[in-house]
Amino acid sequence: MLPSQLLTATPAGSSFNLKDAMFAYTIIAIFLLLGRAIRQNISILKSLYIPSSIVAGVIALALGPEILGRVVNDASPVADIGIFSDPIRTVWKESPGVFINVVFAALFLGETIPSPRNIWQKAAPQVAFGQILAWGQYVVGMLVTIAVLVPVFKMSPLAGALIEVAFEGGHGTAAGMADTFTKLGFPEGGDLALGLATVGIVSGIVVGIILANWGRRKGYIAAQKPKAEGSAAGDVATEAQGGHGHHGEHPDTIATRARLNRDLLIDPISLNVGFVGLAIAIGWVLLYLLGQLEALTWGRTGFVIAEYVPLFPMALIGGIVLQIIMVRLRLDPLIERPLMERIAGIALDATIVTALASLSLAAIGSNLAPFFILSIVGIAWNVFAFIVIGPRVLPSYWFERGIGDLGQSMGVTATGILLLRMVDPDNESGAFESFAYKQLFFEPIVGGGLFTAAAPALIDRFGTWGMLALTAGLLVFWLIFGVFNFRKTVQATAN
């Protein structure tokens, strides 16, 4: 019996049930083992530092409807569907947007939270470079729309927002914006955005790996050579010595944790998973309050944007809030940083595998030429910004810091983290913290944030030239700020 026949039962009115989810993640776990075995026995995969999770995701994609389902004979039982049932694929499709919240909720749990001033000092170059990438995507998108897509292919001017919506926003944002595009008279915009998000993820991984190996040969990577082993997150944390959370910790912290855990009768990993859930819940409340604020203010005009703000940046804030509360209550030793890093590593592997497994290769549709043009322009801008602008705005470890933003700006945040870990698995550069801090000043605005949600409406309201002027002005501002901050940082270091 085929898996697609075995796992098809779902209750009426439900897309999948709990058993479907169990089978879906069981398959992913098996594919991770298979991906590990394949990776270890194919030298090119090892030499390119391709993680097992990517191999596993490609296997799942190949056995699904997008590849196997299309190449087999029409009489085959797996024609059009592959070997996986619809509920299994539905679980995978919804998983990246769920697990990425776990990754970000765990980022600051168990860490020492610096002051806002220190956060800005660490994040400022990263914020500048991330904003440059995002606003540049609007600028090149509007330019190619004005010059080619509208006059030659008669496309809607709203096409100018597709690169940023798809590349920075990813599949979740692209799907969420489909109704907006339809309401504004560009119904094919949702399909094109989903297709571009697919291109962004695939090209982000491929281009990122190529650049990582190029940077290693050129000596641009200042951190140590990455390990060939490990999960998608690289080695997310060094193995704890002598038990969970003991590595590098003060003896007083260990003693306090032992005292607090004495009568809890709960496994430490269960306790820390609970803290992650609490951080996500705090983030959800913050997002809900933002929606209520919108409903009472600008939302009354019909200009709705809060529903497009993703949860994971709010989960990151929730993690920071929870960590501060735990410190104030002197309960922070209960949060074990090594465990948090393992939890985040598992979630990141799940995010990457399920994102690849659920890619839609049929989303390009009938707009092949415009789709190809937007893809090439988007990729070219990101690579240009990384190679040319990155070294001029990132004062230290520019390659490690820049490649994380490059990956994020081409589809999903998980890709950025993956590439960052690939070139700096032990976080010698401190780029991971800077990348995480950056989200506080980045995600609420672009990459699925407020401006991303508002962009089609702004184009419809002010036209392509008005949108080009606005985004070009913002791009120039961040370029000037980035260069100025670079020089200021270099001078301060020299003194």
Q: Identify the pLDDT of residue 477.
A: 97
Higher-confidence position of 144 and 44: 144
3-state SS record for the chain? CCHHHHCCCCCCCCCCCHHHHHHHHHHHHHHHHHHHHHHHHCHHHHHCCCCHHHHHHHHHHHCCCCCHHHHCCCCCCCCCCCCCCHHHHHHHHHHHHHHHHHHHHCCCCCCCCCCHHHHHHHHHHHHHHHHHHHHHHHHHHHHHHHHHHHHHHCCCHHHHHHHHHHHHCHHHHHHHCHHHHHHCCCCHHHHHHHHHHHHHHHHHHHHHHHHHHHHHHHCCCCCCCCCCCCECCECCCCCCCCCCCCCCCCHHHHHHHHHHHCCCCCCHHHHHHHHHHHHHHHHHHHHHHHHHHHHHCHHHHCCCCHHHCCCHHHHHHHHHHHHHHHHHCCCHHHCCHHHHHHHHHHHHHHHHHHHHHCCCCCCCCCCHHHHHHHHHHHHHHHHHHHHHHHHHHCCCCHHHHHHHHHHHCCCCHHHHHHHHHHHCCCCCCCHHHHHHHHHHHHCCCCCCCHHHHHHHHHHHHHHHHHHHHHHHHHHHHHHHHHHHHHHHHHHHHHC
Closest CA to 226 of 239, 235, 217: 235
First vs last Cα of the chain: how many Å apart? Answer: 71
Phi, psi of 466 (to 5 degrees): -65, -45
Q: Residue range 62-89: average pLDDT? A: 79
Please give the structure tokens belonging to residue 382. Answer: 């990101």
Give the residue among 174, 203, 5, 178 at the shortest CA–CA distance from 93: 174
Residue 9, Cβ density class (10 Å: 0-12 exposed, 13-18 middle, ≥19 buried): exposed
Separation between Cα atoms, residue 99 and residue 106, nearest integer Å: 11
Cβ proximity of 381 and 164 under 8 Å: no
pLDDT tens digit string along 393-405?
Answer: 998 889 988 998 9
User: For residue 252, what are the CA distances in angstroms to 241, 249, 256, 358?
Assistant: 16, 8, 6, 47
Instruction: Quote the pLDDT of residue 12.
Output: 42
- pLDDT for the residue numbered 238: 33
Token output for 428: 């010698």
Give 350's Cβ-side CA count (13 Å radius). 25
Q: What is the CA radius of gyration of the chain?
A: 23
- Domain parsing of the chain, residue ranges: 3-96, 103-494
User: What mean pLDDT do residues 121-148 have?
Assistant: 93
CA–chain centroid gap for 182, Å, is 26
What region does 11 belong to: left with phi over 0, alpha with psi -120 to 50, or beta? Answer: beta
**pTM for the whole thing?**
0.69
List, for residues 280-331, the tens digit of each pLDDT value.
999 999 989 988 998 888 778 776 666 656 687 788 889 989 999 998 988 8
User: CB burial class (10 A; 0-12, 13-18, 19+) of residue 480?
Assistant: exposed
d(CA 301, CA 295): 9
pLDDT at 96: 81
Tell me the per-residue pLDDT of 152-200, one tens digit each, with 9 for 90 and over.
999 999 999 999 988 988 766 776 677 778 888 888 888 788 788 878 8
Find all residues with CB under 8 Å of 330, minimum gap 6, and list them.
Answer: none
Q: pLDDT tens across 17-41, in order?
A: 888 889 999 999 999 999 999 988 9
What CA–CA distances, in Å, run from 79 to 85, 348, 442?
A: 12, 31, 43
Q: How confident is the model at residue 411 (pLDDT cuts 50, 70, 90)?
A: low
pLDDT at 1 over 70: no
- C-alpha 229 chain-centroid distance: 22
Range in 65-69, 140-144, 454-458 with the lowest mean pLDDT: 65-69
Phi, psi of 231 (to 5 degrees): -85, -170
pLDDT of residue 376: 95
Confidence (pLDDT) at 173: 73
Check residue 277 and give its pLDDT: 96
21 Cβ contact partners less than 8 Å away, ≥ 6 residues apart: 91
Cβ partners under 8 Å of residue 371, min gap 6 = 192, 195, 196, 364, 365
Whether residue 417 is predicted with pLDDT greater than 70 in this model: the reply is yes
234 phi, psi to nearest 5 deg: 70, -150
The CA distance from 189 to 155, in Å, is 10
Torsion over CA: 397, 400, 401, 402 (sign): positive
Per-residue pLDDT, 237:
33
The pLDDT assigned to 206 comes to: 86
Q: How far apart are CA 161 and CA 100, in angstroms?
A: 24
- Return d(Cα 99, Cα 421) in angstroms, integer: 18
Averaged over 101-120, what is the pLDDT? 80
* pLDDT of 433 above 90: no
Q: Which residue has the higher pLDDT, 376 or 356?
A: 376
Q: Residue 17 — φ and ψ, nearest 5°?
A: -120, -175
The pLDDT assigned to 427 comes to 75
d(CA 131, CA 11): 45
